[in-house]
Amino acid sequence: MKIGVLTGGGDCPGLNAVIRAVVKASSLKYGWDVIGVEDGFTGLMTSVRVREMTPKSVCGILPTGGTILGTASDINPMKVKQFIDGKEQIVDLSRLIVKNANGLGLSSLICIGGDGTLRIANHFYLLGLPVIGIPKTIDNDILETDSTFGFHTAVNTATEALDKLHTTAESHRRVIVVEVMGRYAGWIALEAGISGGANVILIPEIPFQIEAVCKKIMNRYEHGAGFSIVVVAEGARPVGGEMSVIKRTEDGSVLRLGGIGNKVGEEIAARTNVDVRVTVLGHIQRGGSPVPFDRSLATRFGVAACDLAAKQQFGQMVCLKGGEIQSVSLQDATRGLKFVSTEGNEVKSAEALGVSFGR
Ligand code: F6P
C-alpha cells in the first residue's frame, strides 16, 4: 500500500505532529510507503510535486510549528487561473488531480485541512479518490469535532498576550483593544478572553452595540478599575453593520479580514475620554510550537486516519467526541461551520462575571 498525505489551507501548530503520526503509523504499524504531497492540492496539479516520507524524514518535527510539506491557501482546484493562448482563463483541474493521484498509485490520500480543504477533499472523494480527512485550524470552527488541533496553541498565544497587555493597560489606565483571528466563529476571542480576564469580548456570533461596550468601560472607570481589555475577533461586526473585509475574491467571497480592532478602538476613543491602544495579534497566533494538547490530538488523529485507510473507510473525517477519537462523513463535517452558542455555557459563564459581549 502507498498512502499520500497533504496539508492545505492556512497553517497551524500541530501540522507537523500529524504528518509525523501519519508517516510513523503507516510505516511502523502497517508497513506502507508514504508519499508527501507538497503545497496542498497544488502538488497534484500541472507539475506533480511529491516526496517519499519515512520515519527518518519526520524525525524531530513533533514540536515544530508550520508544515514541512508546505501548504496553499486561497487555491480552489475547481477554479484555477491559467493563461491559455495568451488569455487568462478559469479552469477546473479536478480531473487532472484525480489522474495524477491515480498515477502515483495512492491507495489512500490523507487530506489535513480546515473547512475549505475538507470541502475540496470531499469533492475528490465524490470523484473517486480514496480520501480521508483530518480537521485542523486555529479557528476551531469545524463541525462534528469537539476540537481541532492548533486551536489550543492559538488560545495559549492570545492568552499570554492578554496577560502582558493587562499589566501595561493597568499601569497607564488605558483601554487596550486586542484583535484576534476568527472569521465567522469567535472561539479564540471567547476562550482567550475568558482565560485572559478580558472585560469585553466581541465575537462574530453576537453583533455588538458600541454603546454597550463604552458603558462597560466607563462603568469600570467609575468603580475603580481604571483600565479595560477588549478582545475583538477579526470577524466581529456592529449590529446592522458589516464585517471588516480587506479583500474579496472575484466572485465576492471574503478572502481577508482586518481592521475591526482599530474601528472599535477609534469608536471607544471618540465616545469616552479614555486613552486607547490597539494591538492586532495576526499571524503570531498561527505560529509557534504546539501545546501538549495539540500535539497529542494531532498524533491521535494521524493514527486514526491510518486506521481508517486500513479499513478502506474513505470519505470520512477523523474527529474528537467526548474525549474519544471517532469518524464522521466529510459530507456531514463540511455542511457548515461550528459556531459559538450565543446562550451557551462559555458565554453565560463570562457574562456571570460581568464580561460584556456588547449586547
Ligand atoms: O483560517 C484560519 C485563519 O487564521 C483565519 O482566522 C484568518 O482569517 C485566516 O486564517 C488568515 O489567512 P491568511 O493566512 O490567508 O491571511
**Grid cell locating 172:** 497607564
Q: Which of 11, 115, 139, 141 is catalytic?
A: 139
* pLDDT level of residue 309 (50, 70, 90 thresholds): very high
Sorted by sequence, the CB contacts under 8 Å of residue 251 that are 6+ apart come out as none
Q: Is the CB of 73 under 6 A from ligand 1?
A: yes
Please give the radius of gyration of the chain, using alpha carbons only, rounded to the nearest integer.
22
| Span 247-287, pLDDT tens digits | 998 788 888 999 999 999 999 999 998 999 999 999 999 99
Establish whether residue 136 lines the binding site of ligand 1, counting it when its CB lies within 6 angstroms of any ligand atom: no
**Residues whose CB falls within 8 Å of the CB of residue 209, separated by 6 or more in sequence, listed in order:** 238, 239, 358, 359
The CA distances from residue 28 to 25, 33, 50, 96, 304, in Å, are 5, 10, 21, 32, 14
Does ligand 1 have an atom closer than 6 angstroms to the CB of 50? Answer: no
User: Are 301 and 325 in contact, with CB atoms under 8 Å apart?
Assistant: yes
Q: Is 141 a catalytic residue?
A: no
Say yes or no: CB of residue 137 within 6 Å of ligand 1. Answer: yes
Q: What is the pLDDT of residue 276?
A: 98
Q: How far is the CA of 10 from the centre of ligand 1 (A)?
A: 6
Q: How far is the CA of 34 from the centre of ligand 1 (A)?
A: 29
Angle at 285 between CA 284 and CA 287, to 5 degrees: 65
Q: What pTM was estimated for this model as a whole?
A: 0.97
Q: Is the CB of 247 under 6 A from ligand 1?
A: no
d(CA 263, CA 267): 6
pLDDT for 224 beyond 80? no
Query: Any idea which of 66-75, 79-88, 282-291 has the lowest mean pLDDT?
Result: 79-88
**Rounded to whole angstroms, how far apart are CA atoms 199 and 175?**
10
User: What pLDDT is recorded for position 253?
Assistant: 85
- Is residue 114 in contact with ligand 1, taking CB distance under 6 Å? yes
Task: Check: CB of residue 171 under 8 Å from CB of residue 325.
Answer: no
Residue 15 to residue 71: CA distance in whole angstroms:
10
Choosing among 3.40.50.300, 3.40.50.460, 3.40.50.720, 3.90.180.10, the CATH entry for 154-287 is: 3.40.50.460
Mean pLDDT in residue range 173-189: 98
Tell me what the mean pLDDT of segment 114-128 comes to. 97
Phi then psi dihedrals of residue 113, to 5 deg: -170, 180
Nearest residue by C-alpha to atom 16 in ligand 1:
256
C-alpha distances in Å from residue 158, one per residue of 141, 155, 203, 278, 284: 17, 5, 15, 14, 9
Region 121-136: mean pLDDT is 98
Grid coordinates 465524490 are at which residue?
126
Q: Compute the half-sphere exposure of residue 281: CA atoms within 13 Å on the CB side of its CA.
A: 29
Residues 6 or more apart in contact with residue 199 via CB below 8 angstroms = 216, 217, 220, 228, 229, 230, 354, 355, 356
Indicate the top mutation candidate among 11, 255, 286 to test ligand 1's pocket, ranked by most ligand atoms within 8 A of CB: 286
- Residue 241's pLDDT is 96
- Residues 302-312 as b/e (b if ≥16 CB within 10 A, e otherwise) read bbbbbbbbbee
Average pLDDT over residues 206-230: 95
* Domain ranges within the chain, ordered by starting residue: 2-149+290-333, 154-287
Of 165, 156, 151, the closest CA to residue 230 belongs to 165
| 286 Cα: distance to centroid of ligand 1 (angstroms) | 8
- Give the Cβ contact number of residue 99 at 10 Å: 13
| Predicted pLDDT at 84 | 86
Tell me whether domains 2-149+290-333 and 154-287 share a fold.
Answer: yes
Quote the pLDDT of residue 78: 93
Pick the CATH number of 2-149+290-333 from 3.40.50.450, 3.40.50.720, 2.60.40.4070, 3.40.50.2300: 3.40.50.450
